[in-house]
């Protein structure tokens, strides 16, 4: 289907849409023909996005605050009259509208929610929970015609990744390690996550409860994981 028509006439709310992966998802849905509500608690990128993407609506919202989410959903419905795609953080308030449109939920998880990451127990636990919650929601809402899927990205080059690298002793080495974690030899781009989101919303009509990996193959093969801390004694191999 030609660009500009894949999700034409649909209304999408993108949480965390002000920058990084969220902004990549916003751009992809705009290109697909959707009407997009950008939700973010930080207004710093608002004017740039509104200039770049005329027709989008930016609503200041902290998704940890129920009243903010309530306002976000009600304002989106007031402006556009429907809702076709959003994330689970809107679920309690948005589900009645998603059931009417019989559309879908897309959550952003993380590859580390499945494979783990050192020194990151809280982050890994929350991302794993997002994936598990998506599967449970898919079961609960299937009889209402609402699909729920998630995207667990791997290393995606975003402002946050850049900031994290800059805080390390050697940012160049850190970035190179991030690139070489993928068999493809590079990090992903927010636009590639956006493309996966549009696919799930528009074409993946027989998919629910799935994890659409966007990882460059980072989960494949073996890697150097031992060697930290005390030496590991080699096991005896039976003859």
Q: For the residues 99-126, what does the mean pLDDT come to? A: 96
Are 93 and 69 in contact by the 8 Å Cβ rule? The answer is yes
More confident call, 164 vs 238:
164
Write b or e for each residue in 48-64: b if 16 or more Cβ atoms lie within 10 A of its Cβ, otherwise e: ebeeebeebbbbebebe
* Catalytic residue (one of 123, 132, 183, 184): 123
Query: What confidence tens digit (pLDDT) does each residue in 194-228 have?
Result: 999 999 999 999 999 999 999 999 999 988 888 66
Q: Tell whether the model's pLDDT for residue 141 goes beyond 80.
A: yes
Are 29 and 55 in contact by the 8 Å Cβ rule? The answer is no
Model pTM score: 0.92
222 among known catalytic residues: no
Q: For the residues 82-109, what does the mean pLDDT come to? A: 93
Q: For the residues 154-158, what does the mean pLDDT come to? A: 98
Q: Can you say how many angstroms the Cα of residue 90 is from the centroid of all Cα atoms in its chain?
A: 14
Domain coordinates in residue numbering, the chain: 11-202
Three-class DSSP category at 143: helix
Q: Tell whether the model's pLDDT for residue 159 goes beyond 60.
A: yes
Q: Tell whether the model's pLDDT for residue 231 goes beyond 70.
A: no
Mean per-residue pLDDT of the chain = 92
What is the pLDDT, as a whole number, of residue 120? Answer: 95
What is the pLDDT, as a whole number, of residue 45? Answer: 80
What is the pLDDT, as a whole number, of residue 228? Answer: 61
Q: Is 133 exposed, middle or buried (0-12, 13-18, 19+ CB in 10 A)?
A: middle
Instruction: State the alpha helices, DSSP H only, in the chain.
Output: 20-31, 46-52, 66-80, 91-101, 112-115, 121-141, 159-166, 171-180, 190-202
Round to whole Å and give the CA distance between 28 and 203: 14
Three-class DSSP category at 238: coil
CATH top-level class for 11-202?
Answer: alpha beta
What is the pLDDT, as a whole number, of residue 71? Answer: 96
More confident call, 45 vs 53:
53
């Amino acid at each position: 289907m030609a660009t500009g028509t894949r999700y034409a006439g649909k209304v999408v709310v993108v949480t965390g849409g002000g920058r990084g992966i969220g902004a990549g998802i916003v751009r992809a849905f705009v290109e697909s023909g959707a009407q997009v509500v950008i939700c973010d608690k930080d207004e710093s990128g608002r004017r740039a996005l509104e200039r770049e993407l005329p027709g989008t609506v930016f609503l200041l919202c902290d998704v940890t605050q129920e009243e903010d989410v309530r306002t976000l959903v009600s304002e989106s419905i007031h402006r556009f009259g429907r809702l076709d795609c959003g994330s689970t953080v809107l679920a309690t308030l948005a589900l009645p509208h998603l059931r009417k449109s019989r559309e879908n939920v897309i959550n952003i998880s993380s590859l580390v929610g499945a494979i783990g990451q050192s020194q990151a127990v809280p982050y890994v636990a929350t991302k794993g929970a997002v994936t598990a919650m998506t599967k449970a929601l898919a079961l609960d809402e299937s009889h209402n015609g609402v699909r729920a899927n998630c995207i667990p990205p791997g290393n995606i080059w975003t402002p946050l990744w850049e900031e994290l690298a800059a805080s390390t002793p050697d940012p160049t080495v850190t970035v190179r390690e991030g690139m070489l974690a993928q068999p493809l030899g590079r990090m992903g781009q927010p636009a590639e996550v956006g493309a996966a989101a549009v696919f799930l919303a528009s074409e993946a009509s027989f998919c629910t409860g799935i994890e659409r990996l966007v990882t460059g193959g980072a989960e494949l093969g073996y890697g150097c994981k031992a060697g930290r801390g005390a030496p590991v004694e080699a096991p005896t191999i039976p003859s």
